């Protein structure tokens, strides 16, 4: 079997049928693929939709479990999968018709590559736009290290077709019990790859679901976002520190990007107490980033305040949030 599609399902009844049927519009014979849909304790009609679709598609495999989170679902899917390759698909997203057949024909996925990254488009309401930020500079097969240096990395497991044996041999499963799991996983997976390539074929549609945790983040989401930054930074310091200056600077820039995403969440959701809970760790971490990057201007002021006066910094964030709250 060529490929297994792994779809975690949790309360996405509104989108689920379109998601699954998009897999069956890729021009592959049924014996060449399977769809593994794992219902993760949904409380809406998702499981009934899956049961209905399974009567139509014989290679749609349905599993039901108590809620354990997307990481646990994906890990279970990888272990079940029979395909040479796996692809993760979020159940509120969908695939562009007939593009996988095009990828298989034009991109020669059978050349024992570890990872194939494809292009995608975002859907927000009735508006769709093709991602223009991948900025891939080379479509040839290359090592993961070179790929990280040369390109922007979008941290979603859903934007890759992955050789299953490569995942298992490198123990590249998802950390369970956290959100923002894709950040660390994506970088580690690309880094471990010896053969990765990119295709500009637009194959995946990332649907902007207003019920997603990214739209209504709780404290644990912001905390896990910061924790993912720490883990990513720690992993590359341990694995690669001092070996390649160009690679080290690129990783630092990417980590800083996620740090400023967290910073914006702090501002918007008044979550300054999370900074206080991680003061020492955060300070040491930002000092290294500052040293690696030589930040300037506004970024330097923010990072220096965060580093050297974290409590004052968090109070300023709080006062800022009060100002904007009562100004309205």
Query: Percent of the chain beyond pLDDT 70?
Result: 63
pLDDT tens digits along 118-143: 989 887 766 666 765 554 555 678 99
Contacts 24+ apart (CB under 8 A), 321-326: 321/267, 321/270
Q: How many residues does the chain have?
A: 328
d(CA 92, CA 107): 27
Q: What's the average model confidence in pLDDT over 297-322?
A: 65
pLDDT tens digits along 215-272: 555 555 666 666 676 677 677 766 665 567 777 777 777 777 776 666 666 555 555 5
pLDDT of 328 > 60? The answer is no
Per-residue confidence (pLDDT) for residue 299, from 0 to 100: 60
- The mean-pLDDT minimum among 175-179, 182-186, 262-266, 301-305 falls in 262-266
pLDDT tens digits along 266-289: 555 555 555 555 555 555 655 655
CA angle 170, 141, 130 (to 5 degrees): 95
Question: Which of 23-37, 239-253, 292-306 holds the top average pLDDT?
Answer: 23-37
Per-residue confidence (pLDDT) for residue 26, from 0 to 100: 95
Tokens coding 289: 């980033």
In this prediction, residue 207 has a pLDDT band, given cuts at 50, 70 and 90, of confident
Per-residue confidence (pLDDT) for residue 149, from 0 to 100: 87
Shortest CA distance to 205 belongs to which of 131, 286, 136? 131
DSSP string, 82-117: -SSEEEE--TT-EEPTTHHHHHHHHS-TTTT-SEEE
Q: What's the average model confidence in pLDDT over 31-35?
A: 97
CA 209 to chain centroid: 15
pTM of the shown model: 0.81
Neighbours of 284 (CB within 10 A): 11
- In sign, the C-alpha dihedral spanning 141, 166, 74, 151 is negative
Shortest CA distance to 87 belongs to which of 58, 54, 115? 115
Burial (0-12, 13-18, 19+ Cβ within 10 Å), 299: middle
Q: How many CA atoms lie within 13 A of 223 on its CB side?
A: 11
Shortest CA distance to 20 belongs to which of 32, 31, 34, 40? 34
How far, in Å, are 121, 260, 305 from residue 298 at the CA level?
32, 12, 11
Q: What's the average model confidence in pLDDT over 165-184?
A: 88
d(CA 134, CA 178): 26
- The mean-pLDDT minimum among 18-32, 36-50, 216-230, 248-262 falls in 216-230
Write out the H or E segment, with its range, that includes residue 58: none
pLDDT of 17 > 90? The answer is yes
Q: What's the average model confidence in pLDDT over 87-114?
A: 85
pLDDT of 77 > 80? The answer is yes
Per-residue confidence (pLDDT) for residue 271, from 0 to 100: 56
Per-residue confidence (pLDDT) for residue 287, from 0 to 100: 60
In this prediction, residue 204 has a pLDDT band, given cuts at 50, 70 and 90, of very high
Q: Are strands 127-130 and 115-124 parallel, antiparallel or unpaired?
A: antiparallel
């Amino acid at each position: 079997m060529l490929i297994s599609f792994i779809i975690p399902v949790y309360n996405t009844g509104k989108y689920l049928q379109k998601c699954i049927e998009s897999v069956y519009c890729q021009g592959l014979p049924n014996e060449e693929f399977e769809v593994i849909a794992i219902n993760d304790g949904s409380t809406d009609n998702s499981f009934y939709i899956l049961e209905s679709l399974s009567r139509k598609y014989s290679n749609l495999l349905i599993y039901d479990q108590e809620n354990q989170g997307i990481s646990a679902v994906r890990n279970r899917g990888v272990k079940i999968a029979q395909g040479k390759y796996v692809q993760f698909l979020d159940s509120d997203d969908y695939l562009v018709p007939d593009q996988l057949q095009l990828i298989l024909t034009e991109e020669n996925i059978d050349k024992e590559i570890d990872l194939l990254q494809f292009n995608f488009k975002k859907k927000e309401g009735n508006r769709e736009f093709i991602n223009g930020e991948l900025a891939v500079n080379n479509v040839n097969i290359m090592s993961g290290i070179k790929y990280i240096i040369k390109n922007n990395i979008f941290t979603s497991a859903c934007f890759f077709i992955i050789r299953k044996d490569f995942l298992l041999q490198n123990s590249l499963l998802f950390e369970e019990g956290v959100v923002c799991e894709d950040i660390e996983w994506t970088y580690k997976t690309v880094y471990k790859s010896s053969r990765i390539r990119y295709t500009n074929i637009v194959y995946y549609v990332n649907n902007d679901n207003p019920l997603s945790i990214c739209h209504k983040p709780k404290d644990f989401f912001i905390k896990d976002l910061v924790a993912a930054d720490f883990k990513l930074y720690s992993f590359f310091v341990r694995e690669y520190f001092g070996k390649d200056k160009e690679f080290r600077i690129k990783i630092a820039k990417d980590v800083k990007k996620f740090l400023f995403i967290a910073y914006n969440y702090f501002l918007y959701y008044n979550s300054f107490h999370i900074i206080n809970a991680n003061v020492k760790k955060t300070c040491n971490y930002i000092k290294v980033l500052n040293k690696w990057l030589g930040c300037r201007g506004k970024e330097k002021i923010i990072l220096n305040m965060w580093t050297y006066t974290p409590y004052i910094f968090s109070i300023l964030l709080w006062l800022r949030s009060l100002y904007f709250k009562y100004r309205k």
